[in-house]
Amino acid sequence: MKRVVLQQREVSLWRRTFAYVIDLIVLSFIVYLPIGSDFAVDTEGSIFEEARDFSLGTILVGILAAFFSVFYWAVLEKKIGQSVGKMAMGLQVVDYNGKPLNLRQCILRNITKASTLILLVDLMYGILKKDNRRFFEVLSNTKVVSANGSF
């Protein structure tokens, strides 16, 4: 099969970062607050002085929150190619060869969002690469491009 490389305009890391921040804000209201409010401990003051609770419940909350986060990105990108943040920033996820995205690709490219640390390593890979594709984007054969239209 002839390989079709997408010619869409490259997107800057800044636009992607803003999109990610918007998504995090959305997730804070939709997932993190309702799931973790009863487990939340001291959140005032600096982030370095946050009281921590290391119980089983908190660990389960963390795992569920991570699962729901991946679900948010994976399902939205599979259905409409965009998360809320990407819509706002006019970005779209596409298959690198121009084929329609499948769920496996969408889960794989977003799996690193379950852990900030792994995401950072994944992101570092993308920053070092010319086309800014994260390692898991390369693995999933996907790419983020400028969307034709956004609302």
Binding site for other proteins (CB under 8 A): 26, 30-42, 44-45, 47-58, 60-61, 64-65, 68, 71-72, 75-76, 79-80, 82, 84, 87, 149, 151
Contact criterion met (CB below 8 Å) for 24 and 84: no
CB-based contact 66:114 (threshold 8 Å): yes
Residue 4 C-beta: closest distance to other proteins, Å = 23
Cβ closest to other proteins, residue 82 vs residue 112: 82
SS3 74: helix
Smallest gap, in angstroms, from Cβ of residue 27 to other proteins? 8
- The least CB distance from residue 2 to other proteins, in Å, is 28
DSSP state of 89: T
Q: Which is nearer to other proteins, 24 or 60 (CB)?
A: 60
- 8 A C-beta contact, residue 129 and residue 1: no
Question: What token pair was written down for 119?
Answer: 């995401």
- Asked whether 127 and 14 are in contact (CB, 8 A), the reply is no
Provide the minimum distance between the beta carbon of 90 and other proteins in the complex, in angstroms, as a whole number: 13
Q: How far is the CB of 24 from other proteins (least distance, A)?
A: 14
Q: In terms of CB distance, is 35 or 139 closer to other proteins?
A: 35
Give whichever of 44 and 130 is closer to other proteins, judged by the CB atom.
44
Angle (nearest 5°) at CA 85 between 81 and 86 = 40
In the 8-state DSSP scheme, what is residue 96? T
- Which residue's CB is nearer to other proteins, number 12 or number 28? 28
